[in-house]
């Protein structure tokens, strides 16, 4: 036990030789603290380098000092009173510091730490300074080894020629009981009481002066208390000021103070100074726990790059690893979270790999979320979707669902995104925004998504409740794609009521009114948007199909039941079917330059190839009527391939707008390949069948369907259209045969058709 204590104490005493007054200058230069009048530096153990030790102390005996400190705290056997060996030699010049030597210490004393000079001439060359050793005596008498060692280090730093006593207990003890009481108040941290005790004694004894060491220590202790109080109150400028005025606090023995000063620098927008303070600890202080805590505290205040500079000061660990390995997982989490706030921040791949291993081994939803947001913000939706799904599997939360929905939107799967977010749509503003974005992308899909009435109703309800213009506008385009122009007009009007300056909605309303032959409505819009929208102003020459004059039923309304023929006139049944042209045509086009088409420009100002690219761009964002003049400009190209693509694109644009006659004309403007010609003919016939059905011309509908069936096998939705045509023509057997065949595939419209047929043919069994 004693040998261990000797080793530890010896190491501590040797460490006291590692600091010096030059450290203060380095600290001031490192932190940028203005120079102040030097003050005694306390608790500076481990900061004087061996080369800075006084040259006159070659016989410093660390083991002897350790033995005496051990003796301070060890029980002593009773011993007879002995005379005070040093009483006759006590200096009369300082009576307030005189005190008898502690009883029980055997004589003679052990060899001195430093051999005294043999001659008077040598003593004159190196005179012993007048050093206040009252604190040294006090800490020795109390057995406070830590403070005793710190006091020896402090006095050596202040007085290089001072020789520390070999035996702390051999130093005469204070006979001044009042001074002992004052030191006791200081030791207990009762600084206000100590100030009062000093003042009271000075008032009673005008000739008494407190020891300078006591006053210096009291000043530093009070400065420490003020600094800590200011830090707790977040008065960071005051913290910096106190630290600058009291450099003796900025030592490894006061790591908490260094942490507070570093934070104060960062909080007062002097991050480099704060980084320097943290780096000072890592360069000069050796306590492993304090070093780890320094890195952890710094990581909450400093950015990624400054933290890498601090981590470079890491030391090897005893087990062969690195000293910060225990906190590196949390550091990886913090760095990834920081990169999520700043997508431009590039962090080392090792941190990502470490977090991935953590997410897979520990299975924490929070780790998976961090990785999901990291990948999403770097445009890696597939990887982001993987981690968001993993997070939802652990814990289905609004944040995890929101991240997954955004990843799904990014990879063009808004239907699943809407379903994922519907449950969390009202959880927060961000969740609501994500849900509404999913609905807008869902309604803008091309070809239009086959949505159930349940989904359509809930989307419409949320859009109306939130007055969300983008989805309302997309509802208008969605209804147009189903040839339900009156419904489209109502959605565009609703969007304009919520946002009167929404030009895309105004344009959609103008195009729809044009197709409904509402010339007055178109003129009203043109007057209202004069000078604000060139495409609305130039709408006057757009061809309009007569088929658009017949309104269709809203896509969101339930299917109207067909009344029995015996009781009512022949009913006109409408059905919501998807536009065939967009479902059957695969747009074949070569590489094109992405010009962007979000702004309105005159296509005639473009070259043929640029106009062709703009036409395809407009088709992709569902603005077919703007694509028509762009393709028309491209048709002027001398290059045959560009003319063929332009004619093909213009035909598709007219078909998407419900203008099949114009599409047929556009297809003849340039020769088409056999495959394209067949595709266009199939699409045109299907579109004409839809228009004829909407106009109530059911026999004509069947003719177009028959012609189309000769070119391509009939799709299920067109079979349903054929069945309703038979139903409206009272060809019930044919209608039943068609509906049964289509219903066998699981088609809901066909099942509804069978129900309508039963209501007509068997009205007596209906509720």
Question: Given a cut of 70, is residue 111 above it in pLDDT?
Answer: no
Average pLDDT over residues 177-201: 81
Give strand pairing partners of 19: 48
pLDDT of residue 316: 84
Kindly state the percentage of the chain with pLDDT values over 90. 25
Cα–Cα distance, 358 to 577 (Å, whole number)? 50
Q: Is the pLDDT of residue 765 over 80?
A: no
R_g (Cα) of the chain, nearest Å:
45
pLDDT category at 724 given cuts 50, 70, 90 is very high
Q: Which residue has the higher pLDDT, 333 or 77?
A: 333
Length of the chain equals 767
Residues 682 and 588 sit within 8 Å (Cβ to Cβ): no
Q: Which residues pair with 322 in a beta bridge?
A: 316
Residues 6+ apart with CB under 8 A from 683: 580, 581, 584, 585, 652, 655, 663
Name the token pair of 198.
């000093």
pLDDT the model gives residue 559: 29
Kindly state the average pLDDT of the residues 519-548: 73
pLDDT for res 130: 67
Q: Which has more pLDDT, 131 or 251?
A: 251
Give the pLDDT score at 17.
Answer: 35
Comparing 165 with 20, the larger pLDDT belongs to 165
3 state SS for 143-185:
CCHHHHHHHHHHHHHHCCCCCCCCCHHHCCCCCCHHHHHHHHH
In the prediction, which pLDDT does 636 show? 83
The arithmetic mean of pLDDT across residues 117-142, rounded, is 59
Q: Give the burial class of 31: count Cβ atoms within 10 A of its Cβ; 0-12 exposed, 13-18 middle, 19 or more buried.
A: buried
pLDDT range class, residue 75, cuts 50, 70, 90: very low
Q: How confident is the model at residue 484 (pLDDT cuts 50, 70, 90)?
A: confident
Q: Running DSSP on this structure, what letter comes out for residue 52?
A: G
Q: How far apart are CA 650 and CA 626, in angstroms?
A: 10
SS3 per-residue string spanning 173-220: CCCCHHHHHHHHHHHCCCHHHHHHHHHHHHHHCCCCCCCHHHHHHHHH
Mean pLDDT over residues 196-201, rounded? 84
Residue 43 predicted with pLDDT over 70: no
pLDDT at residue number 326? 82
Provide the pLDDT for residue 677: 77
Q: What is the pLDDT of residue 282?
A: 93
Question: Residue 30: pLDDT above 60?
Answer: no
Would you state the pLDDT for residue 397? 92
Burial class (CB in 10 A: 0-12, 13-18, 19+), 175: middle
Quick check: 281 and 252 in contact, CB under 8 A?
A: yes
Over 578-613, what HEC string results?
Answer: CCCHHHHCCCCCCCCCCCCCCCCCCHHHCCHHHHHH
Greater confidence (440 vs 106) lies with: 440
- Within 10 A of 332 (CB to CB), how many other CB atoms are there? 23
pLDDT above 70 for 395: yes
Flag whether pLDDT at 402 surpasses 50: yes
Average model confidence (pLDDT) for the chain?
Answer: 74
pLDDT in tens, 410-423: 988 999 999 999 99
Predicted pLDDT of residue 543: 37
pLDDT of 599: 67
Global pTM reads 0.50
Could you tell me the residue ranges of all domains in the chain? 608-761
Confidence category of residue 102, pLDDT binned at 50, 70, 90:
very low
- CATH class of this structure's domain 608-761: mainly alpha
| Residue 461: HSE in the Cβ half-sphere, 13 Å Cα cutoff | 9
**pLDDT, tens digit, 9 for 90 and up, residues 599-658:** 667 777 788 888 888 888 888 777 788 888 888 888 888 888 888 888 888 888 887 776
448 with 578: CB under 8 angstroms? yes
> Are 263 and 301 contacting, i.e. CB atoms less than 8 angstroms apart?
yes
User: 310-319, 324-333, 654-663: which range is least confident on average?
Assistant: 654-663
Of 200-209, 405-414, 555-564, give the lowest mean pLDDT range.
555-564
With a cut of 60, say whether residue 171 has pLDDT above it: no
Contacts with 222 (C-beta within 8 Å, 6 or more apart), sequence order: 191
Token digits of residue 733: 């057997």
pLDDT at 585: 34
Question: Does the structure show a pLDDT above 90 at 247?
Answer: no
Determine which of 49-58, 349-358, 559-568, 756-765 has the lowest per-residue pLDDT on average: 559-568
Residue 583, pLDDT score:
35
pLDDT for position 387: 94
pLDDT tops 90 at residue 73? no
663 band by pLDDT with thresholds 50, 70 and 90: confident
Please identify which residue in the block is written with the tokens 């056999």.
Answer: 674
Q: How far is CA 609 from the centre of its chain?
A: 43
Q: pLDDT band for position 598 (50/70/90)? A: low
């Amino acid at each position: 036990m004693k040998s261990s204590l000797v080793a530890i104490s010896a190491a501590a005493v040797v460490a006291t030789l590692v600091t010096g007054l030059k450290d203060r200058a380095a600290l001031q230069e490192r932190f940028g603290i203005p120079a102040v009048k030097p003050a005694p530096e306390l608790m500076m153990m481990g900061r004087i380098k061996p080369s800075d030790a006084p040259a006159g102390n070659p016989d410093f005996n660390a083991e002897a000092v350790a033995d005496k400190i051990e003796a301070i705290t060890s029980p002593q056997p009773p011993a007879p009173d002995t005379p005070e060996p040093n009483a006759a030699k006590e200096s009369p010049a300082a009576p307030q510091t005189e005190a008898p030597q502690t009883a029980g210490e055997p004589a003679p004393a052990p060899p001195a730490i430093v051999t005294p000079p043999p001659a008077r001439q040598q003593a004159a060359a190196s005179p012993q300074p007048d050093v206040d050793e009252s604190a040294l005596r006090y800490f020795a008498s109390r057995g406070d080894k830590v403070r005793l060692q710190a006091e020896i280090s402090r006095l050596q730093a202040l007085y290089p020629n001072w020789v520390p006593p070999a035996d702390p207990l051999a130093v005469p003890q204070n006979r001044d009981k009042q001074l002992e009481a004052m030191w006791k108040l200081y030791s207990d941290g009762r600084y206000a009481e100590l100030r009062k005790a000093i003042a009271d004694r000075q008032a009673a004894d005008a000739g008494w002066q407190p020891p300078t060491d006591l006053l210096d220590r009291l000043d530093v202790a009070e400065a420490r208390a003020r600094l800590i109080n200011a830090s707790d109150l977040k008065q960071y400028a005051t913290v910096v000021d106190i630290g600058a005025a009291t450099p003796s606090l900025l030592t490894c023995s006061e790591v908490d103070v260094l942490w507070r000063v570093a934070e104060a620098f960062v909080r007062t927008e002097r991050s480099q100074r704060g980084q320097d303070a943290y780096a000072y600890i890592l360069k000069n202080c050796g306590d492993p726990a304090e070093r780890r805590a320094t890195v952890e505290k710094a990581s909450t205040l400093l950015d990624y790059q400054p933290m890498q500079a601090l981590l470079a000061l890491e030391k090897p660990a005893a087990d062969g690893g690195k000293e910060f390995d225990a906190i590196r997982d949390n550091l990886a989490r913090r760095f990834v979270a920081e990169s999520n706030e700043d997508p431009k921040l590039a962090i080392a791949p090792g941190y990502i790999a470490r977090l991935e291993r953590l997410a897979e081994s520990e299975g924490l939803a929070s780790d998976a979320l961090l990785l999901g947001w990291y990948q999403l913000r770097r445009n890696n939706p597939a990887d982001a979707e993987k981690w968001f799904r993993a997070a939802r599997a652990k814990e289905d939360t609004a944040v995890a669902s929101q991240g997954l929905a955004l990843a799904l939107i990014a990879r063009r799967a808004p239907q699943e995104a809407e379903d994922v977010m519907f449950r969390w749509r009202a959880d927060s503003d961000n969740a609501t925004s994500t849900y509404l974005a999913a609905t807008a992308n869902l309604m803008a899909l091309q070809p239009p998504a086959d949505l159930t009435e349940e989904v359509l109703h809930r989307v419409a309800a949320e859009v109306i409740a939130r007055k969300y213009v983008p989805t309302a506008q997309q509802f208008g385009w969605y209804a147009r794609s189903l040839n339900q122009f009156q419904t489209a007009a109502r959605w565009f009007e609703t969007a304009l009521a919520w946002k009167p300056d929404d030009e895309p909605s105004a344009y959609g309303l103008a195009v729809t009114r044009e197709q409904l032959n509402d010339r007055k409505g178109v003129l009203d819009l043109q007057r209202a948007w004069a000078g604000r929208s060139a495409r609305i102003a130039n709408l006057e020459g757009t061809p309009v199909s007569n088929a658009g004059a017949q309104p269709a039923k809203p896509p969101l309304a339930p299917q109207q039941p067909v009344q029995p023929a015996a009781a009512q006139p022949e009913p006109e049944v409408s059905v919501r079917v998807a536009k065939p042209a967009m479902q059957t045509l695969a747009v074949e086009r070569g590489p094109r330059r992405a010009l962007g088409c979000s702004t309105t420009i005159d296509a005639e100002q473009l070259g043929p190839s640029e106009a062709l690219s703009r036409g395809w761009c407009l088709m992709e964002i569902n603005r077919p009527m703007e694509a028509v003049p762009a393709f028309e400009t491209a048709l002027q190209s001398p290059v045959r391939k560009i003319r063929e693509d332009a004619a093909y694109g213009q035909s598709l644009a007219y078909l998407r707008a419900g203008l099949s006659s114009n599409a047929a004309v556009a297809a003849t403007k340039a020769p088409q390949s056999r495959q394209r010609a067949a595709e266009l003919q199939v699409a045109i016939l299907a579109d004409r069948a839809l228009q004829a059905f909407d106009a109530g011309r059911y026999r004509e509908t069947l003719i177009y369907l028959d012609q189309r069936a000769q070119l391509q096998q009939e799709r299920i939705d067109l079979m349903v259209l054929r069945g309703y045509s038979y139903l409206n023509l009272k060809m019930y057997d044919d209608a039943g045969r068609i509906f049964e065949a289509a219903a066998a595939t699981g088609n809901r419209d066909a099942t509804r058709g069978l129900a309508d047929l039963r209501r007509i043919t068997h009205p007596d069994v209906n509720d």
